[in-house]
């Protein structure tokens, strides 16, 4: 089967729309087992209050990492039924910029993400992360709404 994408990135924050984005990516991957899935979650280090002296063992950071791992374990479980190559990544940094850097570095050819995430201001159509990624991504972005 001919596909227009072979390496998909799914930015995942456990919001309802990011769950739907993951389902959409899985549906696309089922079309052809050569399609690769990369699910990434970014821990926002810009809003975190860490003690940088004890950065490695900082309890806030450790709790965030543990939560992200648990979240991605559920995702891994979900992906394990597919014959496709599927990977999960935890990145620490600015969500918007880290996602775009990842897309570029991994040479992705499609991003599938939610229009909104866990943030509050629902009157906007796009959140700050999806807005930035749509603007800066070198490849097409499939927005689930
Ligand atoms: N930290 C993150 N890691 C990975 N993906 C994320 C992260 N934050 C958001 N996303 C992705 O971006 C999509 C849109 O979320 P976004 O954060 O832009 O909206 P929001 O939370 O409603 O608004 P804001 O964060 O600006 O308050 C999500 O559905 C998800 O796919
Ligand atoms: Mg958000």
**What is the set of domains in the chain, with CATH numbers?**
7-144 (3.40.50.620)
Residue nearest to atom 1 of ligand 1 (CA): 42
Task: Identify which ligand lies nearest to the alpha carbon of 46.
Answer: 1
Residue 5, C-beta contacts closer than 8 angstroms, at least 6 positions apart? 28, 35, 109, 110, 140
Give, using CA atoms, the residue closest to atom 8 of ligand 1: 13
pTM exceeds 0.75? yes
Judge whether 130 and 116 are in contact, CB under 8 Å: yes
Using alpha carbons, select from 24, 42, 35 the residue that is nearest to residue 132: 42
Ligand nearest to the CA of 128: 1
Q: Per-residue confidence of the chain (145 residues) as pLDDT tens digits?
A: 556 779 999 999 999 999 999 999 999 999 999 999 999 999 999 888 888 788 888 999 999 999 999 999 999 999 999 999 999 999 999 999 999 999 999 999 999 999 999 997 778 899 999 999 999 999 999 999 9
């Amino acid at each position: 089967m001919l596909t227009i994408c072979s390496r998909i990135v799914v930015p995942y924050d456990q919001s309802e729309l990011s769950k739907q984005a993951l389902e959409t990516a899985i549906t696309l991957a089922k079309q052809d087992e050569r399609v690769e899935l990369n699910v990434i979650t970014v821990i926002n280090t810009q809003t975190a209050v860490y003690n940088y002296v004890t950065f490695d063992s900082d309890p806030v950071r450790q709790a965030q990492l543990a939560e992200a791992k648990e979240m991605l374990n559920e995702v891994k479980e979900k992906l394990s039924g597919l014959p496709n190559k599927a990977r999960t990544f935890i990145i620490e940094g600015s969500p918007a910029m880290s996602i775009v850097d990842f897309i570029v570095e991994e040479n992705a050819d499609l991003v599938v993400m939610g229009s909104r995430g866990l943030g509050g201001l629902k009157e906007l159509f796009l959140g700050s992360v999806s807005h930035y990624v749509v603007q800066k991504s070198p490849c097409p972005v499939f927005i689930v709404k």
